Structure 1
Amino acid sequence: MTVITGGAGGMGTATAAVVGRDHAVVLADVRAERLDAAVAALIDRGISATGAPADVTDPDAVGAVFDTASGLGELVSVIHTAGVSPSMGDADYVMRTNAVGTATVGERFHASAPPGAALVNVASMAAYLLPAEMIPAQHFPVALSDPAAFLEKMRPAWESLPEEYRSGIAYGVSKSFVRWYSSAQAERFTAKGLRVLSISPGSTDTEMGRLEENAGAGAMVADAAVPRWGTPEEMAELLAFCAGDKAGYLTGTDILNDGGVVASVTERARVAASS
C-alpha cells in the first residue's frame, strides 16, 4: 500500500499510475472533487485506488489518511507530492502548506510506518537557487514541535521585501525545509527501519508548474541544459523508484531532477564572476 499526497495533482496522479502497477494506492488531496476524478481515472486503468480527502497541515486529517491506508494493507511507502507554488497564495500559506505539511506527514509516517517503509518528499530546484544567507535553517527544527512558532520564525525571511517577492522567497525557504527534513531526520528514521529522502523537480509540465511559466522557475527553462519542461511521467518514474525496494540504500539525500537548470545557472554565475 502506497499513500500519495497531492494525489489529484498532475505529478501525484502520474506517480499513482506508476506505483499502482505494483501496489494499491491511497490518494490524499484537499480538493475533493478533483480527487474523486483522479481515483476514478486510475480505477479505469485497472489500478486499485482509494481517495482520502485531507489537508496535509492538519494532523488529524493526515492521521485519518494513514488509518485508511492501514485498513487496506501494509504501508510500504508514502510519496508526498502535496504542495503549492508562489502563484497560489501568500507567503504564510506557501510556507504552511509546503513546510508544515511536510513535517506533519513525515512525523505521522515516522510514528506509524512499519520497518522497511520509505517516505519520499518533493522539494524543488528553488531550494538550490536561494542564497544560503536567506534561509533561516537554524529554526527549521521548531516545525517538528511547534508549527505556529516555526511560522513566526520564518516570516523575517520575506517580511521586509516588496509584496510581489514574498511568496517566491517563502517558496524557496519552504522547499529548503523539505530538503533539510529529508536529510536531517534520516538517522532518526533509520533507527526504526525507515527511509526518508526527497527529489527536487525543475519546471514540470503540470497545471501548478505552468502557473510559473512567465516568472520564477518557469522563465529558466529556455536557458537550461535541457531546454524544455520536465514531464509529470519523468518525475513519477523517479519518485516510484526512490520509494521502491531497489532503492533500499538510498536515504537522507535529495535528488535534483531539473534538466540541468541549476548546473547552467551555477556555471554562468562562475563565468560572469571570473570575467
Structure 2
Amino acid sequence: MSDDAQPLTGRTALVSGGGSGLGAAIARSLVSDGARVVITGRSELTLKETASRLGPDVVHAVCDVSRPDDVARLAESLADEEISVLVNNAGIAGPVAPLTEIEVQDWDEVFDVNVRGVFLMCRAFLPAMTARGTGDVVNIASVSGKRPLLRRTPYCASKMAVIGLTATLAGEVGPLGVTVNSLSPGPVSGPRMERNFRLEAERTGSSYAEAEETFVSRSALGRMVSEEEVGAAVSAMLRMPGLCGADIDLSAGMVAR
C-alpha cells in the first residue's frame, strides 16, 4: 500500500480506552492508515486480546486515566516513543436517573474519567508535541453535550466540558503547531447503548424495542452510527491539517440546536 493510502505511516498514536468499543475501532482505523498505536485501559486482559487482534503495530499499557499517578507512569513508560497523535476516548456512561436521585460519588466518577482524564492525558503528552512543534489531539465528546438527554445530566455535562476544554486548549497550543479538535458521535450501536435502552425500558415500563425506537427516531437517517464510522471519522480528521478548535458532529442527523 502506498504512503498516500497510509497517511499516518511513521507516526505513533495513543488511544485511551482502546481495549474495546469505540477505542478499539479507532485504533483499528489508525492502524489501517499506517500508524503504530498504543492502546490504554484498565483491563490488562482486554487490552492484550485487542492488541493481538489488531496486529503487531499495536501495543498496550494499563492506565486509569482518572488517576494522576497512572498517567504519570504511562508517560514515563512511553518516554522513548514519539507520540504525535493523542486520542482521548476513555469515558463512562454514568447513571441513568433524574438529577435529584444521583449520588455525589456517581457524579464525581463520571467527571473523573470523562473530563479529568482528558486533562491529565493532555497535560502529560502535550509538552513533547509543543516542543516538536507538531501533533494532533482528538477528544471524543458527544452530541449529548449539546442537546438535552433526560436523566443523563452527569454524562451530558461532562461532554460539554470536553468540548469547552477542546476549544480553549486549541487556542493555547495551536500557535505552537498542535491541533486540538473534538469528535461528537451520536448514539453508537453497541453494548453501551444497549445498556441505556434496557435501563430506560425498565424506568418507563416500555419494551426494549420501544425504548430504542423512541431514541433512534430522532435521527435524520433513522439509525445509530457504528463504531467503524467513528474510527473512520477520527482518521478523516487527522487528514485535515487546517482543522483546529473544531467540534465535529457524527450523529446520523441527531443534533438539535
Please report the TM-score for the alignment, with normalisation by the length of structure 2.
0.80
Shift of 1:234: 0.2
SS in 1 for 2:50: helix
- Distance in 2 (CA, whole Å) between partners of 1:70 and 1:24 is 15
1:115: which partner in 2? 133
Percentage identity across paired residues of the two chains? 24
- Distance in 2 (CA, whole Å) between partners of 1:17 and 1:94 is 26
One-letter code aligned to 1:83: G
Larger mean Cα displacement after TM superposition, 108-117 or 184-193: 108-117
SS in 2 for 1:52: strand
Q: Give yes or no for contact 1:94–1:170 (8 Å, CA) kept in 2.
A: yes
- Distance in 1 (CA, whole Å) between partners of 2:255 and 2:175 is 33
How is 1:245-264 mapped onto 2 (pairs within 5 angstroms)?
246-263=239-256
Shift of 1:186: 1.0
Whether 1:77 and 2:85 are equivalent positions in the alignment is yes
- Distance in 2 (CA, whole Å) between partners of 1:68 and 1:249 is 31
- Distance in 2 (CA, whole Å) between partners of 1:91 and 1:36 is 30
Deviations 1:184-240 (A, max 9, x none): 111211132111110110010122232222549965212310111210000000112
1:143: which partner in 2? none
One-letter code aligned to 1:41: R
Superposition CA RMSD, Å: 2.3
Q: Give yes or no for contact 2:133–2:176 (8 Å, CA) kept in 1.
A: yes
Shift of 1:87: 4.1
How is 1:38-117 mapped onto 2 (pairs within 5 angstroms)?
38-43=50-55, 47-71=56-80, 73-87=81-95, 90-113=106-129, 114-117=132-135
SS in 1 for 2:177: coil
SS in 1 for 2:83: coil
One-letter code aligned to 1:170: P
**Greater helix percent: which structure?**
1
Q: Give yes or no for contact 2:83–2:125 (8 Å, CA) kept in 1.
A: no
Shift of 1:83: 0.1
1:226: which partner in 2? 221
Give unmatched runs, 5+ long, in structure 1.
132-163, 267-275
SS in 2 for 1:55: coil
One-letter code aligned to 1:239: V
Shift of 1:107: 1.7
Flag as ranges the 4+ runs of structure 1 deviating above 4 A.
216-219
1:150: which partner in 2? none
Deviations 1:59-107 (A, max 9, x none): 2322333344442x42220111100013498222112111111111122
Q: Give yes or no for contact 1:56–1:101 (8 Å, CA) kept in 2.
A: yes
Shift of 1:40: 1.3
- Distance in 1 (CA, whole Å) between partners of 2:176 and 2:77 is 22
Q: 1:67 to 1:115 in 2, by over 3 A?
A: farther
- Distance in 2 (CA, whole Å) between partners of 1:26 and 1:67 is 14
One-letter code aligned to 2:71: V
1:271: which partner in 2? none
Q: Give yes or no for contact 1:11–1:206 (8 Å, CA) kept in 2.
A: no
Q: Give yes or no for contact 1:109–1:119 (8 Å, CA) kept in 2.
A: no
